[in-house]
Amino acid sequence: MSPRLIALLLTAFLAVLVPATPAAAAPVQTLTWTGNNSTTEYASAPTGARPGETTIVFENSEATGNTTGMSHTLTFDTTTPGYNHDVSLNILANPFDAQDGRHEAVVTLTPGKYRYYCTIPGHTAMVGEFVVSDGTGDTTPPVVTASVTGERDSSGNYVGSATVSLSATDAGSGVASVEYQLDGGSWTAYPAPVVVSAAGTHMLHYRARDVAGNQSEEGMAHFTVVARPGDTTAPSVSAAITGTQDTAGNYLDVATARITATDAGSGVASVEYQLDGGAWTAYTAPVAVTAAGAHMLHYRATDVAGNVSPEGMAHFTVVRSDTTAPVVSASVAGTQDGDGNYVGKATVTVTASDAGSGVALVQYKVDGGTWTAYAAPVPVSSAGPHTVGYRARDVAGNASAEGSVAFTVVAGGDTTAPSVALQVTGKQDGGWNYVGSATVTVTAADAESGVGFVEYKVDGAAWTRYAAPVVVTALGAHTVRARATDVAGNVSAELPGSFTVVAAPPPPDACPVSDTRETVVIGGIDSQVANVDTGNGCTINDVIDETAEYASHDRFVKHVKAVTQELVANGVLSTGDRNRIVTAAIESGVGGGGLATADGGKRKASARA
């Protein structure tokens, strides 16, 4: 299975963790986080925002500097004291997922401070915070500065390229946005340093706005870029086509084109590609081709000095490994009257399966509305007749036929969803990790029609009916979600939780100075039974303890019989091995007037009580 397909399936599951809330009006602002190859910090993140409905953008792609295919999450902290806990956000992004690493969610922010972090193991140093302010009392605009860096000639011109970095601060409500305008073009949001490689004189204007709406004066950076002298050699460019191939060399379901360009002179300025005779397009990330059929990819590169490489060409064929559409169905639940109408609310559950490439997308529409991605059962509460359509598509691109269910909702009944609570318990270490196992307990309550059933899912598993506390023993980080449905069909919001299970430390060695002879030897008599560890660091010879003091030989033999019987019960010894050890004890003469030593001799011993 290719990395892109794995990321697609993983993201399709985790996308339900962050359902976007439909908005009556456009969000008041957009906040953007980006990720790259770092495991210690986000590539960029906001520091301030205004309250209200907000579009959260998290992009972790090659365009933002992630060249290794590394996954990151953007997760809002909902437990640490001192921060706002009213936004549940957990976005997983990978450069090869279905959105090419760029995801959006709509949330509502309130005044205060939010903390965010990455939940991927080993990435926990990726953490930060931002302040949401209504701007009351702040009338001072932000301070914004620019610096231009790069190799310079004796006249102060930048050779090959110039990089402009912007920095903004605001001691009041906080910086909300930074923008720049290059050579009279449009104003553009500033996410990262701007590289200017075109030869000539350039003018870059910049400005910033704080959360209170105060805008700084426009700043300006003026500089000249000249071509690197002496570079007349075009870049070297190549392409690699990857993916799963059949015996004929065709690519199954998807072929990914990666283009690489190098230039030892002035450096690569741009890379472009053309697919199947289409327009030339800037290459910024691997190109995934999923359309079945033969394809032709042309590519070229241009260096800073303006030298253009000859066009390269790659041809390949994509075929579908899966030609069967998914199976999709829907069911309607809720309280019905004598005529079969649903009282107060009907809940539509859509289920899809695909035995081939797997389900990629499930959609529904209510009463002829727009198609919407299906993430959870759909409640319909408005009185009157309704039709809910549904369809599904698999990873190979096969689409099911559209299905529909029709029903009527009448006024009255229970329209309030149940409440659900989730608790994780177990023995914890100093880092709040659960040692050996964690127990997940889910409870639900409904004051009207009553709880119908409770469901949970752990990590990537399917939704499962909850009957008893769930014990999780697998080591590592885990996520759990729970929801409840009442008898009237109302479904609660999904409740998330996360925890980590670590291995229990080994028990202390009960016999730090142990008898490690290869076989069980008693008073010089070798039983020929392996002298194994009994499970706590003590060997069988240690447990028999032939050098201790015993009142008589008979007392010693009884001791050996007792301890070996316990070892049989614990699975350490077989019955036959036990008999050989007891026989050796009988023949040893240990106990009584003296204790046998390893060489068969005797030593004086006082009576053992």
Whether 138 maps to a domain, the answer reads no
CATH code assigned at 118 = 2.60.40.420
Q: Is the same domain home to 247 and 155?
A: no
Q: Is the same domain home to 15 and 126?
A: yes
CATH code assigned at 303 = 2.60.40.10
The last residue of a domain, from among 226, 255, 274: 226
Q: Is the same domain home to 171 and 286?
A: no
- In angstroms, rounded to a whole number, what is the distance separating the alpha carbons of residues 225 and 229? 12
pLDDT at 199 over 50: yes
Q: Is the same domain home to 117 and 7?
A: yes
Whether 231 maps to a domain, the answer reads no
Q: Is the same domain home to 334 and 379?
A: yes
Could you read off the pLDDT of 69-121 as tens digits, one per residue? 888 999 999 988 888 999 999 999 988 888 889 999 999 999 888 999 998 87
pTM beyond 0.75: no
Question: With bands split at pLDDT 50, 70 and 90, how would you rate the model's confidence at 25?
Answer: low
Q: Is the same domain home to 351 and 436?
A: no
The last residue of a domain, from among 382, 410, 438: 410
The last residue of a domain, from among 452, 475, 502: 502
Q: Is the same domain home to 169 and 113?
A: no
Q: Is the same domain home to 120 and 10?
A: yes
- In angstroms, rounded to a whole number, what is the distance separating the alpha carbons of residues 365 and 402? 10
Spell out the SS3 assignment of 414-475.
CCCCCEEEEEEECCECCCCCEECCEEEEEEEECCCCCEEEEEEEECCCCCEECCCCEEECCC
- In angstroms, rounded to a whole number, what is the distance separating the alpha carbons of residues 403 and 351? 12
Whether 280 maps to a domain, the answer reads yes
Range in 353-357, 460-464, 472-476 the model is least confident about: 353-357
Length of the chain: 609
Whether 512 maps to a domain, the answer reads no
Q: Is the same domain home to 561 and 478?
A: no
Q: Is the same domain home to 42 and 123?
A: yes
**How many domains does one find in the chain?**
6
Q: Is the same domain home to 42 and 97?
A: yes
- Cβ-proximal residues to 569 (8 Å cutoff; 6+ apart), any chain: none
What is the domain extent for residue 343? 327-410
Whether 511 maps to a domain, the answer reads no
- In angstroms, rounded to a whole number, what is the distance separating the alpha carbons of residues 221 and 245? 51
Question: With bands split at pLDDT 50, 70 and 90, how would you rate the model's confidence at 23?
Answer: very low
Could you read off the pLDDT of 528-566 as tens digits, one per residue? 999 999 988 899 999 999 988 899 999 999 999 999 999
Whether 509 maps to a domain, the answer reads no
- Contacts made by residues 528-537, CB under 8 angstroms, sequence distance 24+: 528/580, 529/573, 529/577, 529/580, 529/581, 532/572, 534/567, 534/570, 534/572, 535/570, 535/572, 536/507, 536/509, 536/510, 536/511, 537/507, 537/508, 537/509, 537/510, 537/511, 537/512
Whether 137 maps to a domain, the answer reads no
Q: Is the same domain home to 107 and 188?
A: no
Whether 249 maps to a domain, the answer reads yes
